[in-house]
A and B are shown apart, each in its own frame.
Chain A
Amino acid sequence: MPSITFIDPTETEVTASFEPGDTLLKAAYFARVEGILAECGGGCSCATCHVHLDSAWDGIVEPPSLQESDMLAFAVEPTPHSRLACQVELTDAHDGLTVTVAKRQY
């Protein structure tokens, strides 16, 4: 199974396996990654699953929708690499990549 490594707010690395088609949130949730609240359960409605991708993701991930960008504007200290984990759909191309969970969700 492909996997993603999450770096949680305490800088602990957690490896989460996923199936292509899963979201980053689903992978994180089932690996019980610390620091992702996902209050709305993955509906792009709460901006509490804020993560930072690194440059290895460039070009292999769909850009955020307008809805997601609007939500991200309210995340804590968003960067150009900020995403909501619930909106990032994983494929085999993402196997082995790293994601940093935002230090604070609010």
Chain B
Amino acid sequence: MRIAIIGAGQATATLLQTLIRGEFAGTLTVFHDEGPRPVQRPPLSKTFFKTKTADWLVPDDLMQHPQIRWIHRTVTAIDPDAGHVIWDDEHDSFDHIVLATGTRSLKPTIEGASQDTCHTLRTLADAEAILKRITPETQVVIQGSGFLAFEIAHALATTVASVSLLLKTDRAMPQVSEVIATALMEDCPATCYPDTQIEYIQPEMAKLHTSKGPLACDLIISAIGSVPNAELGAPWGLTDQYGIAVDATMQTAHPRVSAMGEVASFPNPHTHRTQRIESIAQANDTAQVLAARLLGNPQPFQATPWFWSDQGAHKLQIAGLATRDDQSTVITHGDNTRVVARHQGEQVTAIEALNQAREFMAARRLFEQGPMNLSDLMQAGSAFSLLQSSRS
């Protein structure tokens, strides 16, 4: 069996390791276009600006494995009926094609902006471009409200002269409860400007004009979201409104094409919604499900989503996945710890744990056991106590 894998992020790294460990008998051809060798993405917004080095994603022996071929080219089209993967003026034929194309940063159009002054952060090349442009005198403005924007603010705060953070609305990190977002905001080293939109930039004057007035600015980093790289599947009807549509075993509507990782959209068994999820856990879990099917042992996706964000000394860990409209109930509140249940009525959808790893891990175990009830959680007093009582 000849398999083509398009994209070389976390899901691909896990798929390769799982297939090779599972004694997969065929060949694997990986097409990648993000630099000569794939790197681990999470550290780019966390530790890269201090360490200035990136960690390889794939161990040496898999880069040189006799069953794995690496092609450093951009795939321009696929033809699933013929099994073709097409790049430059070349193509090759495969028995199966895996779309692991991930997402790309949403890039804003900013009047007056040049390539030198406006950046996004997703790839190693992005991080290196920012590193090249910053000095201890640089005045950085970050546009964005999510985890990425806040992680970058922490990562750069001690390296540059100033960091300003422009929030689209009055709310930081709208994906988490207000209690958690407020605690994280309080220790954010950036100056935060809520409800502030960019109007235009005057790079020669190092000035950014916003809806709230001018700001000193040498460099903008936009962290305003991402878009799925679903274009290869679109001509073949393999997409939905979110990304590449797959079933619970990562199979698309075409028998010769699968998708995994951030680009894959499917009905999530935890949230009961069809969606794409951008997280390391989702990359790993979808890759495991696909690997099992390719090894002849198909089993449906069952994992509970989980997330984490490192912001300075704070570690936020989330088990489950809430919608922005879910209710919030504080379960515990310590000096620098918070545990918040997100819920739809009685049904707990997520546990957000700030500097409370034990609650995060307990919540993951509880979700694996089945639905979690808010009254049970409140009565137990913590996810840890609830887990213990469920086991006794």
A and B bound?
A: yes
Given A29, A39, A43, A47, which contacts B361 in the complex, CB threshold below 8 Å? A47
Determine the distance from Cα of A73 to Cα of B284 in the docked complex, in whole angstroms. 23
- CB-defined contacts of B356 to chain A, threshold 8 Å: 70
Given B284, B310, B358, which contacts A43 in the complex, CB threshold below 8 Å? B310
With known contacts A40-B280, A70-B361, A71-B361, A45–B59 Cβ distance under 8 A: no
- Closest CB of chain B to A93's CB: distance in Å? 22
Given B61, B280, B360, which contacts A32 in the complex, CB threshold below 8 Å? B61
- CB-defined contacts of B376 to chain A, threshold 8 Å: none
Which A residues, 12 to 54, have Cβ-Cβ distances below 8 Å to chain B? 26, 29-32, 34, 39-41, 43-47
What 3 pairs between A and B have smallest CB-CB spacing? Answer: A70-B357, A70-B358, A74-B361
Q: Offer 25 A-B interface pairs, CB within 8 angstroms, sorted by A.
A: A29-B59, A30-B59, A32-B59, A32-B61, A32-B62, A40-B280, A40-B308, A41-B42, A43-B310, A44-B315, A44-B357, A45-B315, A45-B360, A46-B281, A67-B315, A67-B355, A67-B357, A70-B356, A70-B357, A70-B361, A71-B361, A73-B358, A74-B358, A74-B361, A74-B365
- Beta-carbon contacts of A66-89 to B below 8 Å, as 1s and 0s? 011011011000000000000000
Determine the distance from Cα of A73 to Cα of B310 in the docked complex, in whole angstroms. 21
Where the two chains meet, the residues of A that have a C-beta atom closer than 8 Å to any C-beta of B are 26, 29-32, 34, 39-41, 43-47, 67-68, 70-71, 73-74
- CB-defined contacts of B42 to chain A, threshold 8 Å: 41, 43
Asked if A41 contacts B358 (CB within 8 A), the reply is: no
Where the two chains meet, the residues of B that have a C-beta atom closer than 8 Å to any C-beta of A are 10, 17, 21, 40, 42, 55-56, 59-62, 280-281, 284, 306, 308, 310, 315, 317, 355-358, 360-362, 365
Determine the distance from Cα of A70 to Cα of B308 in the docked complex, in whole angstroms. 15
- CB-defined contacts of A39 to chain B, threshold 8 Å: 280-281, 284
Asked if B362 contacts A41 (CB within 8 A), the reply is: no
B41: nearest chain-A partner, CB-CB? A41
Determine the distance from Cα of A34 to Cα of B61 in the docked complex, in whole angstroms. 14
Asked if B10 contacts A45 (CB within 8 A), the reply is: no
Determine the distance from Cα of A46 to Cα of B364 in the docked complex, in whole angstroms. 10
B362: nearest chain-A partner, CB-CB? A74
Q: Looking at chain B's contact residues, is the secondary structure mostly helix, strand, loop, or mixed?
A: helix
A68: nearest chain-B partner, CB-CB? B357
- CB-defined contacts of A45 to chain B, threshold 8 Å: 306, 308, 315, 317, 357, 360
Other than the given A31-B59, A74-B365, 8 more pairs (CB < 8 A) read A26-B55, A30-B60, A32-B62, A34-B21, A39-B284, A41-B40, A67-B315, A73-B358
- CB-defined contacts of A29 to chain B, threshold 8 Å: 59
- CB-defined contacts of A31 to chain B, threshold 8 Å: 59
- CB-defined contacts of A41 to chain B, threshold 8 Å: 10, 40, 42, 280
Determine the distance from Cα of A26 to Cα of B17 in the docked complex, in whole angstroms. 16
Determine the distance from Cα of A42 to Cα of B356 in the docked complex, in whole angstroms. 17
A21: nearest chain-B partner, CB-CB? B51
Determine the distance from Cα of A45 to Cα of B42 in the docked complex, in whole angstroms. 13
- Closest CB of chain B to A96's CB: distance in Å? 22
- CB-defined contacts of B317 to chain A, threshold 8 Å: 45
Determine the distance from Cα of A70 to Cα of B355 in the docked complex, in whole angstroms. 10
Most buried by A among B56, B59, B360: B360
- CB-defined contacts of A68 to chain B, threshold 8 Å: 357
Determine the distance from Cα of A32 to Cα of B317 in the docked complex, in whole angstroms. 27
Determine the distance from Cα of A97 to Cα of B84 in the docked complex, in whole angstroms. 50
- CB-defined contacts of A30 to chain B, threshold 8 Å: 56, 59-60
